Amino acid sequence: MSELESVTAITVDSSPTILLAEDDPVTRMLMTRFLKKAGYEVEAVANGAEALDKMMSRYYPMLVTDWEMPEMDGVALCKAVRNLRLDGYVYALLLTARDSKEHIIAGLEAGADDYLIKPVHEPELIARLNAGRRILDLEQSLRAANQRNRILSITDALTGAYNRRYLMEQLPRELERCRRYAYPLSVLMCDIDHFKHINDACGHAAGDDVLQQFAARAQNSIRSNSDWVSRYGGEEFLIVLPETEYQGAVVVAEKIRAIIAATPFPTRAGDAVVTASFGVASTGSSGPDIALKVDALIRTADECLYRSKQEGRNRTCGHEIVACQALMAHG
């Protein structure tokens, strides 16, 4: 799944699941019953070690834990939870019979968000949990905003494809990954034919419509879990095809080219007949040579695209970069 597709609105469950760690079976049963009656889902365990195992296999937004427990106490559990890489923040409430300031400070410094002195007063427990839910709401909203900002920073605003910044960050990583695992890597340089004529004859708004639909048709023609499209500049797009050797890349380019040409693009100025030219650059089937750099891969695709233009447009030209050529390109 691409980064763009993975971005969805992040929401907090209407009733967050609580992980309850309490070694006394009667207290555990009574608290579980009470919390469920208050509208929470509850999973209960007998000690901190069991709770930590649960946390490592599933994300629990809320943790209610006793301090005194066998195997791993509540303070050690809070410390361990704060060191885990989890899907979201965990609001941790520590239950303790220790009411000295030193013990309370120790619990908070261990990672607890709040504490309650035993025996627990049930309305106060619910009030603390409600405060915890507000903290979770704020944390999730912040994460969602940061995620949206990240997407905006790497996305072309007009077409929704990745922008050139993302391309120049991610393509070197793709190259290194394919080199490490001996996978082939291909890139397609695409250019909309006679795009200036579309802008001049139909207006820039119609040209924007064409760019948007071109990106959408290209995106719908590739594998959603690995391939990706970036806007290289103007009416040029670069499509990255990891684990795709030369012949397969040519097939993909021809598939997209045929889809572009098959159906006119509806625009605000009427239907526009659109074609595109493609340049394919691929590494060898056993992966990129050690000397091959990103700029050489892109330059090869661009040279192949230029050849497609010279030969009459609406066609695909390509080249497979073998080891010795990669060395010459590097030099």
Catalytic option among 50, 174, 235, 236:
235
Contact in structure between 18 and 136 (CB atoms under 8 Å): no
d(C-alpha 308, C-alpha 186), whole Å: 17
Checking 150-155 for CB contacts under 8 A at 24+ apart, the result is 151/3, 151/4, 151/7, 154/3, 155/4
* Residue 235: active-site member: yes
CA distance 96 to 22: 11
Residue 272, CB half-sphere, CA atoms under 13 Å: how many?
A: 31
> How far apart are alpha carbons 172 and 288 in whole angstroms?
11
DSSP-derived letter for residue 39 is T
Sheet hosting strand 62-66, strand order edge to edge: 41-45, 17-21, 62-66, 91-96, 114-117
Show which residues are catalytic.
235
